[in-house]
Amino acid sequence: MEINIPLYVQFVIDRLEEKGYEAYIVGGCIRDILLEKIPNDFDVVTNALPEEIEEVFKDKKTIDVGKQFGTIIIHLDNASVEVTTFRTEGEYVDGRRPKWLKFVSTIEEDLSRRDFTINSIAYNKYKGLVDPFGGMEDIHKKLIRCVGNPYERFMEDYLRILRAVRFSTVLDFKIEEETFLACKKYGEKISQVSMERINQEFVKILMSDKPSIGLEVMRKIGIFEIVLPELIPTIGFDQKNPHHEKDVYNHILCVVDNTPSILKVRLAALFHDAGKPYTFSVDEEGVGHFYGHDKVGAEIAKKALERLKFPKKMIEDVFILIENHMTHHGTFKDKGLKRLIRRVGKENIDDLFLLQKSDRICSNKDASIESILDMENKVKEILSRNEAYEIKHLAINGEDLLKMGYIEGPEIGEMLEYLLEKVMEKPEFNETDKLKELVLKKYPIDAKI
C-alpha cells in the first residue's frame, strides 16, 4: 500500500535516509489516513539519535523540545516536523512517568511502547506499512485495543483510560472487551492524573460529533465520580413532567449531541439541568417542577468548571448561558429582549438560542422551536438597527452629565440607567438634546443630588 506523504514531511524522511538512517511516519497520522481522514499533523520517528538529527538538519532551524526523550522539531520554510528517536520505556512509577527511557534500534521496539494498536502503525515508502500488533485489522473491526497487556498499559499512564474513551467517541469505535475491563479496574486511578491533562482529553470528547458516546462510556467504566460527579444525581432522575419524555441525564445527553461543536455551548448543554435534582417539587396533580434550577445549575457548573481547570472567561460565559437558558419560556417585547441582550452579552446571545433550541428539541417529540426562532429574529432586527441596550450606546455619558452641573457620585449611574430604560422603550429618544431634557425633568438640576 502506498501512502501520499506531504512533500515537507517526505523531505525530512528522505534527508534522514540519505544519511543512512531509517525514518517513518507513525501513529495518528497513519490511523487517520487509513480511515480516509485528513491528519492534523505528521510525526516522524527514526533510529538517528537526537544529536544526529540535529547534525543532519544543521542547515535548518532545530528546536530541542526534549532531547532526553529523543524529540527534535525541524523548522522548514512553511512547516515544522517533530522527529523522535526510536525508544522504549521502563516501568512507570506514578501512573505517568517511566523509571527509565532508552533509545532502541528498531521500529518494532518503538511501536511496542505505544498505547493502542490503531496508533502503533508506521510507514515509509521502502518498507510500506509496519503493523506488528494488528492495528489495521482493529481499524477494520472498529476496535480500540491496547498494545500488549491492557492492565500494564493503563498502569503506565492512567490517562490512557480517558484516551481510550476519546478514541472510542471520536472514531465511533468499540473498546475491546479486555481493554474495557482494564479501564473499569483502573478507572478510579484517573484521580491521580492532573486535572489539566484530564481537561485536554475531556474537551476532545465533548467536541466530537456525538459526545454522548464518550459520556456513556465514562459512566460505564466508573469515572463519572472523578470527572463529572455533578451529573451523577441526574442519572435515572424521573422528571414526572408531561413536557419531558426522558430522565434528566438522558435529556442532557440529547441536548449535548444536538448542539453545534462550540465549546461553551457544549459545556452549557452538559450542565444546564444539573440543578434539577436539587429543585424538584411535585404539585397537587403529581406534575414535577424545577423552579430555579437554572440558577442552581449555573452555580454547579461554575464550581465544576473551576475544578476542571477551564479558563475564567469560559466559566463566565457558560454560567451566563445556563442562568438564562429558561428565558425562551417568556414573552418579550423589544425592551425585554434588549434587557436580555444586555444581560447575556451580544457575544453570547446567538449561543443562548443554540442551547435553547437543542433543549426544546430534546424535551419531547412534539416540541416546537418556533417561539425561539421568533425571539432570535427579533434580536437580529434589534441588533441590525443598532438600537441601544447598554449605557455605552447612549448619546450621552457621565461626563456630559457632570458638565451639565450634576455632582459626581452614584447618582450619575442611576441617571444613566434611567435614560437607558427610556431609550430601550423608545429608541427615538437616543439623541443628546432629548436625553438632557429627560434627565433634567427627572432629576432637576437645582434639586439636592
Could you tell me the CATH number of the domain that includes residue 42?
Answer: 3.30.460.10
Contact criterion met (CB below 8 Å) for 81 and 8: yes
The amino acid present at 236, given as its one-letter code, is: G
250 and 370 both lie in a single domain: yes
363 and 413 both lie in a single domain: no
Average pLDDT, the chain: 92
Residue 449 in domain = no
Q: What is the CATH classification number for the domain harbouring 289? A: 1.10.3210
pLDDT digits 0-9 by tens, 120-130? 999 998 899 99
C-alpha 356/C-alpha 327 separation (Å) is 9
* Of 67 and 327, the one with more pLDDT: 327
Using the 3D structure, point to which of 134, 163, 194 is the last residue of a domain: 134
For residue 332, the model assigns a pLDDT of 85
C-alpha 358/C-alpha 355 separation (Å) is 5
For residue 98, the model assigns a pLDDT of 59
> Looking at 81-95, 278-292, 338-352, 383-397, which range is the least confident one?
81-95
Average pLDDT over residues 205-231: 96
254 and 379 both lie in a single domain: yes
User: Residues 231-234: contacts with CB within 8 Å, 24+ apart?
Assistant: 231/270, 231/271, 231/274, 233/274, 233/277, 233/278, 234/273, 234/274, 234/276, 234/277
242 and 376 both lie in a single domain: yes
Using the 3D structure, point to which of 199, 227, 255 is the last residue of a domain: 227
240 and 297 both lie in a single domain: yes
Average pLDDT over residues 314-329: 94
319 and 411 both lie in a single domain: no
Residue 448 in domain = no
pLDDT digits 0-9 by tens, 223-235? 999 999 999 999 9
Average pLDDT over residues 422-426: 95
For residue 40, the model assigns a pLDDT of 84
C-alpha cell at 54: 540535529
Helix/strand/coil (H/E/C) assignment for every residue in 233-284: HHCCCCCCCCCCCCCHHHHHHHHHHHCCCCHHHHHHHHHCCCCHHHCCEECC
- Predicted confidence band at 81 (pLDDT cuts at 50, 70, 90)? very high
280 and 329 both lie in a single domain: yes
- For residue 64, what are the β-bridge partners? 72
Radius of gyration of the chain (CA): 29
For residue 449, the model assigns a pLDDT of 44
Provide the 8-state DSSP code for 176: P
Q: Is 24 helix (H, G, I), strand (E, B) or coil?
A: strand
400 and 354 both lie in a single domain: no
Element (H, E) at 130: strand 128-130
156 and 69 both lie in a single domain: no
Q: What is the CATH classification number for the domain harbouring 220? A: 1.10.110.30
Average pLDDT over residues 90-104: 63
307 and 238 both lie in a single domain: yes
Count of the separate structural domains present in the chain: 4
C-alpha 212/C-alpha 20 separation (Å) is 49
Using the 3D structure, point to which of 109, 134, 159 is the last residue of a domain: 134
pLDDT digits 0-9 by tens, 366-396? 889 999 999 999 999 999 999 999 999 999 9
- Residue numbers of the domain that contains 438: 391-442
pLDDT at 1 over 80: no
Phi and psi angles of residue 133, each rounded to the nearest 5 degrees, phi first = -115, 15
pLDDT at 104 over 60: yes
- Predicted confidence band at 97 (pLDDT cuts at 50, 70, 90)? low
Share of the chain above pLDDT 90, in %: 84
For residue 41, the model assigns a pLDDT of 86
Q: Which of 67-76, 255-264, 404-413 has the highest mean pLDDT?
A: 255-264
Helix/strand/coil (H/E/C) assignment for every residue in 330-369: CCCCHHHHHHHHHHHCHHHHHHHHHHHHHHHHCCCCCCCC
C-alpha cell at 81: 516536523
pLDDT digits 0-9 by tens, 405-414? 999 999 999 9
Residue 76 in domain = yes
Look up cell 500488549; give the residue: 148
Average pLDDT over residues 254-263: 97
For residue 443, the model assigns a pLDDT of 93
